């Protein structure tokens, strides 16, 4: 039997593969905790020079193409890289409701952890998809970086923790990847080793544009709502609204916290499985009776019976006259459908 300390180090270990009936997509919006180790300080940081990689002009559009087949190896590698960085944040931050302290955030260069507290100071890690570097910065003004380039997950793992140790930051993580089939421990993964700067940059451009629209949608709501955040387990960007009511309890340390209260969520995901291109999605949890029969806007939106979610394909959005309006209509109509059926007080929650 695992000790309490062991469970704290990896609370997911006893629940891996459990509650599959609760999971609507392979990319469920969950994430996993791990435990930090000791601490020490170092005096010297190494600054890496600016990358010479320049993104192609085709990536500069706010809504570029991102067909999965063209960058899937890079997608899978980035998925594992973000898990390494995300686990560092989760290991050093206090638990927030619904595991919000696990997420990454979109910014003007890529994806960031936001400030992470450490020994009375703070640091942040940033995936810079413009200059193609993973950057480390501390509140004391120290900087370091490693190149984002073709390399294995194991090599990336080693470089990240070497950079952290050189900065006097000691943390350990559970190397088991989450929410992927046949996981390879991150520190031993020599399989995933692709990095295409063009497609990493396109991913960021889409996330940046989507982040802006989701924030506009979030601003319409007076109730409790999540930030617009990126989950490295499911590799998706989302924002979630809550009505304040407790949801029926779920089994499992992760799902019980993630879905402790009734919610309505909208997000963007790069695809996988039967989806060969990205998609926007929307769902209510728990799903109210009749939700699947509702007609959403725009016309291209449809209910996916296996996922128990509404789906709007990204390519339909980006080809439209106004991608921003299409996303807002999808998000709003999905919220209205689920909230009405679940008995939310929409009038009281509307700004």
CB neighbours of 229 closer than 8 A, spacing ≥ 6?
A: 100, 103, 104, 105, 237, 238, 239
The pLDDT confidence band at residue 285, using thresholds 50, 70 and 90, is very high
Q: For residue 9, what pLDDT is reported? A: 35
pLDDT higher than threshold 80 for residue 7: no
81 pLDDT higher than 70 = yes
- Please determine, for residue 340, whether its predicted confidence score (pLDDT) is greater than 90: yes
Residue with tokens 């939106």: 301
- How far separated are the first and last CA of the chain, in Å rounded? 50
User: Is the pLDDT at 345 greater than 90, yes or no?
Assistant: yes
**Helix intervals (H) in the chain:** 4-9, 68-92, 153-166, 197-218, 253-258, 314-318, 323-342, 346-349
244 CB burial (10 A radius; 0-12, 13-18, 19+): exposed
Residue with tokens 């999540």: 226
Q: Over the stretch 36-59, which tens digit does the pLDDT of each residue have?
A: 333 332 323 333 344 343 344 344
Cis peptide before 90 (omega within 30 of 0): no
Alpha-carbon gap, residue 284 to 292, rounded angstroms: 10
Please, which pLDDT band fits residue 255 given cuts at 50, 70 and 90?
Answer: confident
- Please tell me which residue, 110 or 60, carries the higher pLDDT value: 110
* Tens of pLDDT, residues 209-218: 999 999 999 9
**Measuring CA to CA, how many Å separate 217 from each of 63, 117, 284, 300?**
18, 30, 16, 20
Res 21 pLDDT > 80: no
Q: Which class for 177: exposed (0-12), middle (13-18), buried (19 or more C-beta within 10 A)?
A: buried
Residue 148's closest CA among 162, 137, 134? 134
Beta strands 105-106 and 302-304 are: unpaired
- Whether the per-residue pLDDT at 5 is higher than 90: the answer is no
pTM (2 decimals)?
A: 0.84
């Amino acid at each position: 039997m695992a000790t309490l300390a062991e469970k704290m180090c990896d609370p997911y270990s006893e629940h891996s593969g459990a509650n599959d009936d609760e999971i609507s997509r392979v990319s469920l919006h969950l994430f996993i905790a791990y435990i930090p180790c000791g601490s020490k300080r170092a005096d010297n940081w190494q600054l890496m020079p600016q990358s010479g990689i320049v993104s192609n002009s085709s990536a500069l559009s706010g809504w570029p193409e991102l067909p999965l087949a063209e960058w899937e190896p890079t997608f899978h590698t980035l998925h594992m890289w973000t898990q390494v960085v995300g686990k560092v944040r989760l290991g050093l931050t206090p638990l927030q409701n619904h595991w919000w302290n696990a997420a990454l955030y979109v910014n003007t260069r890529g994806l960031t952890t936001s400030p992470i507290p450490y020994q009375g100071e703070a640091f942040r890690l940033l995936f810079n998809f413009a200059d193609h570097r993973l950057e480390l910065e501390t509140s004391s003004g120290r900087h370091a970086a490693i190149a984002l380039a073709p390399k294995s997950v194991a090599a990336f793992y080693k470089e990240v923790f070497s950079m952290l140790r050189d900065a006097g930051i000691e943390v350990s993580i559970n190397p088991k990847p989450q929410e992927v089939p046949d996981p390879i421990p991150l520190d031993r993964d020599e399989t995933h080793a692709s990095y295409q700067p063009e497609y990493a940059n396109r991913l960021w451009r889409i996330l940046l544009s989507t982040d802006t629209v989701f924030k506009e949608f979030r601003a319409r709501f007076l109730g409790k709502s999540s930030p617009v955040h990126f989950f490295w387990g499911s590799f998706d960007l989302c924002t979630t609204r809550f009505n304040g009511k407790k949801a029926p309890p779920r089994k499992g340390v992760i799902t019980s916290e993630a879905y402790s209260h009734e919610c309505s969520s909208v997000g963007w995901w790069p695809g996988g499985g039967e989806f060969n291109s990205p998609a926007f999605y929307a769902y209510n949890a728990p799903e109210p009776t009749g939700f699947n029969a509702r007609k959403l806007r725009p016309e291209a939106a449809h209910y996916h019976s296996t996922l128990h979610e509404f789906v709007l394909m990204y390519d339909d959005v980006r080809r439209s006259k106004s991608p921003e309006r299409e996303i807002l209509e999808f998000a709003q109509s999905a919220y209205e459908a689920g909230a009405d059926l679940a008995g939310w007080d929409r009038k009281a929650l509307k700004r």
